[in-house]
Each structure stands twice: as C-alpha cells, then as structure tokens.
Amino acid sequence: FGGYNGSSVLNDFFRFKLQPIGVPPTGMVRDMLKMLHSAELADVSFLVEGKEVVAHKAILAARSEYFRVMLLGGMKEADDRSIVIPSISHEVFCKVLEYLYTDSVGETSLEIGIHLLIASEQFMLDRLKALCEDLIRSDITTDSVISILVASHRHNATSLKELALEFIQSHLDDPVVMRGLSDLKVEPDLLLELIRRKQITSNNPQAAHYDAVGGPFGANAENWNAPR
C-alpha cells in the first residue's frame, strides 16, 4: 500500500482477503470402494472360478474398452445372467475390478502380481500393466528373476523385462541364477538376448571373468541346443 509515483505520495490502503478457502479432502476413492462388490445398483454379474462377482456396467464400460465392447457392443455374453470369465482366478479378477473402480491397486504378492500383469494384457489395461511392473520389480530376487523375465517377455512388459535382464547380468555368478537359466531353453529369444548382451560387455573387466571361469556362456557351459 502507499508509495510514490515521482510527483505525489500515494497513501491508499487496501485490505486483501488472503484467508484460504477450506476444501475438504477428496472422498472419491473411498466412495468408489464402497461400490466395489456391492450389490446396490449393480447391473452385471460375472462367474469366476464358480464364484459370482457383481459390478456396474457404466463404470466398467467407461474405464475399459474391453468391457465396453463386451457389455455394450452386442456380444452374447452381455445377455447372459452371469458372464463367465475363464482362465483367471477369482482373486486376480477382483484386483482388476479394484483397479477399474479406483485407478490403483493395493499391495499384493509376487505371484498375484505376475498373474495380474497377464490379466492387464488380456483386458488391455496399459496403466494397470505399468502398476504391476512397478509392484513386481521390488520383488526381483535370484529365485524369482527367471520367472519374472519370462512373464514380462511373453506379455510385453518391456520396462520390467529390462530390469530382469540387468539383474541377471549382474548376478551371473550366482548358482541359483545359473540353474534358472536352464528354464530359458523354452524361450530361445531371451537366451539369445542374454548372449548378445554378454558379448557387448565382454570388453568390460568386470564381465570378462565369466569366460575365464567357464561361466554360463563359457566353454564349460551346458549345451543349450541339446535335446530336452
């Protein structure tokens, strides 16, 4: 307030209302969770592993192109009393619905996370796939890395696949990882990718000792082309 403009003193006084308006925190996720698995206003039901799961067509159609086509596109399944969802567990399907209703997914086990990743591919849910990749990456260990690599490769989870490949490269001297590499015989593309990565880093002193000791791809390694 006030001031001087070069010729006269300005003595105006202004009072500004700076008190913020109190906005209550959002309750949308809480309210959506109330609707999840609630029969109130539910207008569609699914049969998963013999168990009924109820839901709301409007939410599913708005959130998923897969379910929009199923429920609104004239598919026969939409006219059935309960739509049968095969090849997925009840627990995983409930996690899919949790995501559709809340745009997030809670903590889950590594096994469920991998199956949820597969389901996200089936239901064309790219954000859910990314969330699953983020959940699974924290559980990468020498015991789980091979199964994670294979799952991420088969279901186009590229970020998770890259993390798994890097983990394997940095743990090639671990006997658990070396034993697990035999499982890659059924995925020759992955095996070839690992070999190429090893060749690229062969000039790295930290990687060179694998050849010297006959590591996973050294002279004493198992014959990967042998009949299974």
pLDDT tens digit sequence for 33-42:
999 989 999 9
Q: What is the pLDDT of residue 57?
A: 94
The percent of residues above 70 in pLDDT, for the chain, comes to 80
Q: What is the pLDDT of residue 2?
A: 60
| Res 183 pLDDT > 60 | yes
> Which residues, 6 or more positions from 93, have their beta carbon under 8 angstroms from its beta carbon?
46, 48, 53, 85, 119
Structure tokens at 39: 């029969």
Structure tokens at 219: 């002279």
Query: 69-78 long-range contacts, Cβ below 8 Å, gap at least 24?
Result: 71/44, 78/44
- The residue that leads in pLDDT, 97 or 77, is 97
How far apart (Å, rounded) are the C-alpha atoms in residues 120 and 114?
Answer: 10
Please state, rounded to an integer, the average pLDDT across all residues of the chain: 84
| Res 220 pLDDT > 50 | no
Q: What is the pLDDT of residue 78?
A: 55
Q: What is the pLDDT of residue 207?
A: 47
The DSSP letter of residue 8 is S
Give the pLDDT band of residue 215 (cuts 50, 70, 90).
very low
Mean pLDDT of 30-56: 94
| Res 69 pLDDT > 50 | yes
Residue found under tokens 């109130």: 40
Torsion (CA) 71, 73, 75, 81 in degrees, nearest 10 = 30
| Res 10 pLDDT > 90 | no
- pLDDT tens-digit profile of 109-155? 999 999 999 999 999 999 999 999 999 999 999 999 999 999 999 99
| Res 227 pLDDT > 50 | no
How far apart (Å, rounded) are the C-alpha atoms in residues 142 and 178?
Answer: 9
Q: What is the pLDDT of residue 126?
A: 95
Residue at 110: amino acid letter? L
- The residue that leads in pLDDT, 24 or 206, is 24
| Res 212 pLDDT > 50 | no
